[in-house]
């Protein structure tokens, strides 16, 4: 018996099947060959068994040995055809299944990259990863074996019943009765098994999540001496898993012995009744021989059919979750303004030039089919901007601010005041509810998102490094950067010294999000990655939160040259990092309550003054 797979039935089986058939439909020739070969393999087994009737009646009983040898050879050829057909459709199905799953994963990955950040905010990483792994693997497994086995079992069950009725309809009533018993038992057992296997899966997920938390938080566990309590909790969850697993396997373990016992009893009754029928001349010996072989074959395809149906339902459930993700609305982008390279003419106008030279400019389409070029400078302005992640709660309330090219703008405020939200809106990670955000005088909604984000570089508090060398991670900011560019960016971010001290320097491999580096070193690499992009607008969201004061001063000295001539937005809890900002904006509850330079804000003796003098702390 195939192993049981816990599953939830798909919400819309018909729609999911049609969607999956769309992928299979792109391989119509392979699918047709699989269907033909599956039918040949199944029918060869059915007809091979039926040939026992003429072999016994026409050759064995009369003693025709030459004729018997010919019939045995014919049966051998028929079974060989069945074996070759089975081998053929298995190989074809494996190839087709892998192609289909590869296409599904391809479409899923492409679509995932087009989804807005709000979609990822609403779904856990584990939930999304399961679409690429367990759900896709379930489809692959079902297509590799269950699909063809289901067809084969269906043909064999149907063909066997037909041949039993053809051979002797009276004896067939006995077999049909036992087949009904087997079917009812399989249905009952499957329902009970499904209930307990689902419970087992839930308990397994609970236990696995708890163990993962304990392994990850070993330091915290030891600091608070929580080993005994955590062990008790582990024992409780482990015991729940044991009980659920015992009940599940108890029911599933009954399947084979019960079906085998019923099939043996069915065979014994059929053999006895067949013997009586033969004595009464109600059936000939050849027919009885074929009939009894068919009886022995009834149990396996029924068991297979039910089990493979479970596999297919599991696959359809996984496919439905994948298709739900594929149906998620992608990030909208109505922008028509793009970036291009341009050069300034003697009269001061800009003209588009080859990508290998010139400076960047915004290419704005005109109504007459032409276009105008606007210099990329980094002038960012907010006009009466209102925004909320949900309609019920507004995060930003009528925000007005401007950042001219070359200015350093700092945001200060409590957690949840809206500092990071402002940064996210500049990137158009989210769409504003009302108001306008302009970039070099252009509404950001008119700029193509890809080009908008290309003109920005960002360093966030939660640094993420990719598997690869240190040089590759820095070069991620600009893929065509040379090795010299990589080193220059590292020096600018004060990362060059610690990189050169590593055994392999810039060729040092990073794994597990840079787990072999300190948090401060990972932050320095993120800053170097932003520096190499050479953007007109630089965003630093708690960029130095994970480094010590000495390193922070080194970074600031290195970043001064990078910031020159660029618009810089800084979010920082350390007020010392924003003292030299052109303007400091103090936010509270989504509103700008104070603005001005460091000296101006101190003279106001407001919230910033209290923060700076320690009378009030950021929360």
The stretch 544-561 carries a mean pLDDT of 65
Cα 213 to chain centroid, rounded: 22
pLDDT band of residue 589 (cuts 50, 70, 90) is confident
Domains of the chain: which residue ranges? Answer: 1-168+304-331, 169-282, 338-375, 380-613
**Residue owning tokens 């390279």:** 341
Q: Are 164 and 172 in contact (CB under 8 A)?
A: yes
Q: How far is CA 296 from CA 7, 290, 299, in A?
A: 31, 10, 7
CA angle 448, 451, 456 (to 5 degrees): 125
Cα 430 to chain centroid, rounded: 22
Question: How long is the chain?
Answer: 619
**What percent of the chain has pLDDT above 70?**
90
3-state class (DSSP) for residue 4: coil
Of the two residues 457 and 508, the one the predictor is more confident about is 508
pLDDT in tens, 474-526: 998 888 889 999 998 898 888 888 999 998 999 999 877 777 788 778 888 88
Cα gap 527→519, rounded to integer Å = 13
3-state class (DSSP) for residue 412: strand
Q: In 432-482, which residue ranges form alpha helices assigned H by DSSP?
A: 449-454, 470-475
pLDDT in tens, 15-31: 888 888 888 888 888 88
The pTM (predicted TM-score) of the whole model is: 0.73
**Residue owning tokens 């079917």:** 183
- For 288, residues 6+ apart whose C-beta sits below 8 A from its C-beta are 274, 275, 277, 278
Q: Which fold has domain 1-168+304-331?
A: ABC transporter transmembrane region fold (1.20.1560)
Note whether 1-168+304-331 and 380-613 share their fold. no
Q: Which of 315, 297, 254 is nearest to 1 (CA)?
A: 254
Cα gap 202→196, rounded to integer Å = 10
Q: How far is CA 117 from CA 123, 389, 418, 540, in A?
A: 10, 11, 17, 19
Q: Can you state the angle between helices 28-50 and 285-296, rounded to 10 degrees?
A: 130
Cα gap 150→311, rounded to integer Å = 10
Report the pLDDT value the prediction gives residue 280, as an integer from 0 to 100.
86
- Residue 169: φ, ψ to 5°: -70, -30
- For 416, residues 6+ apart whose C-beta sits below 8 A from its C-beta are none
Neighbours of 572 (CB within 10 A): 21
Neighbours of 121 (CB within 10 A): 10
Cα gap 285→282, rounded to integer Å = 10
Top mean-pLDDT range of 211-215, 261-265, 383-387: 383-387
pLDDT in tens, 53-111: 888 888 888 888 888 898 889 888 988 988 999 898 888 888 888 899 999 999 999 99
pLDDT band of residue 543 (cuts 50, 70, 90) is low
Q: Are 400 and 382 in contact (CB under 8 A)?
A: yes
Q: In 254-298, which residue ranges form alpha helices assigned H by DSSP?
A: 255-279, 285-296
Q: List the end-to-end C-alpha distance of the chain, in Å, as a whole number.
A: 60
Long-range CB contacts for residues 182-187, cutoff 8 Å, separation at least 24: 182/259, 182/262, 182/263, 182/298, 182/299, 182/302, 182/303, 183/302, 183/306, 185/258, 185/259, 185/262, 186/255, 186/259, 186/302, 186/303, 186/306, 187/306
CATH number (3.40.50.300, 2.40.420.20, 3.40.1000.10, 3.30.1600.10) of 380-613 reads 3.40.50.300
């Amino acid at each position: 018996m195939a192993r049981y797979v816990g599953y939830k039935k798909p919400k819309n089986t018909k729609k999911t099947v049609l969607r999956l058939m769309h992928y299979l439909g792109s391989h119509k020739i392979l699918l047709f060959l699989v269907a033909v070969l599956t039918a040949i393999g199944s029918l060869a087994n059915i007809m091979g068994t039926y040939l026992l009737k003429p072999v016994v009646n026409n050759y064995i009983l009369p003693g025709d040995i030459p004729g018997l040898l010919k019939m045995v050879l014919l049966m051998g050829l028929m079974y060989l055809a069945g074996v070759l057909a089975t081998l053929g459709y298995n190989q074809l199905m494996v190839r087709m299944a892998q192609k289909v799953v590869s296409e599904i994963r391809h479409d899923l990955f492409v679509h995932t990259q087009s989804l807005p950040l709000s979609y990822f905010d609403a779904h856990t990483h584990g939930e999304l990863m399961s679409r690429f792994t367990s759900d896709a693997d379930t489809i692959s497994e079902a297509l590799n074996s269950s699909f063809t086995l289901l067809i084969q079992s269906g043909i064999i069950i149907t063909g066997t019943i037909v041949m039993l009725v053809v051979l002797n309809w009276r004896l067939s009533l006995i077999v049909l009765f036992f087949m009904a018993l087997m079917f009812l038992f399989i249905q009952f057992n499957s329902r009970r098994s499904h209930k307990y296997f689902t419970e087992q899966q839930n308990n397994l997920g609970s236990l696995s999540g708890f163990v993962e938390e304990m392994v990850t938080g070993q330091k915290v566990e030891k600091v608070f001496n929580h080993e005994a309590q955590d062990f008790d909790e582990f024992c409780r969850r482990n015991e729940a898993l044991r009980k659920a697993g015992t009940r599940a396997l108890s029911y599933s373990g009954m399947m084979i012995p019960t079906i085998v016992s019923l099939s043996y009893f069915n065979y014994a009754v059929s053999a006895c009744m067949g013997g009586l029928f033969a004595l009464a001349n109600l059936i000939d010996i050849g027919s009885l021989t074929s009939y009894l072989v068919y009886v022995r074959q009834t149990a396996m395809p029924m068991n297979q059919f039910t089990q493979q149906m479970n596999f297919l339902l599991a696959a359809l459930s996984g496919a439905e979750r994948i298709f739900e993700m594929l149906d998620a609305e992608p990030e909208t982008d109505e922008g028509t303004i793009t970036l291009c390279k341009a050069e300034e003419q003697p009269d001061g106008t800009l003209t588009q030039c080859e990508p290998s030279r010139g400076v960047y400019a915004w290419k704005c389409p005109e109504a007459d089919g032409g276009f105008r070029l606007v210099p990329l400078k980094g002038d960012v302005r907010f006009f009466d901007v209102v925004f909320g992640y949900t309609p019920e709660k507004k995060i930003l309330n009528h925000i007005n601010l401007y950042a001219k090219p070359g200015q350093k703008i700092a945001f200060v405020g409590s957690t949840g005041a809206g500092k990071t939200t402002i940064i996210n809106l500049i990137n158009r990670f989210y769409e504003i509810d009302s108001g306008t955000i302009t970039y070099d005088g252009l509404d950001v909604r008119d700029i193509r998102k890809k080009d908008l984000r290309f003109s920005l570089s960002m360093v966030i508090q939660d640094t993420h490094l990719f598997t690869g060398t240190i040089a590759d991670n820095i070069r991620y900011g600009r893929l065509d950067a040379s090795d010299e560019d990589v080193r220059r960016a590292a020096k600018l971010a004060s990362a060059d010294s610690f990189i050169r001290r590593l055994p392999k320097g810039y060729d040092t491999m990073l794994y597990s999000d840079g787990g072999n580096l300190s948090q401060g070193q990972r932050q320095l690499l993120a800053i170097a990655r932003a520096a190499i992009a050479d953007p007109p607008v630089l965003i630093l969201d708690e960029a130095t939160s994970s480094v010590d004061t000495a390193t922070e001063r080194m970074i600031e000295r290195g970043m001064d040259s990078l910031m020159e001539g660029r618009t810089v937005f800084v979010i920082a809890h350390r007020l010392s990092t924003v003292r030299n900002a052109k303007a400091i904006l103090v936010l509270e509850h989504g509103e700008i309550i104070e603005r001005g330079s460091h000296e101006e804000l101190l003279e106001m003796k407001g919230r910033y003054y209290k923060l700076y003098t320690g009378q009030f702390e950021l929360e």
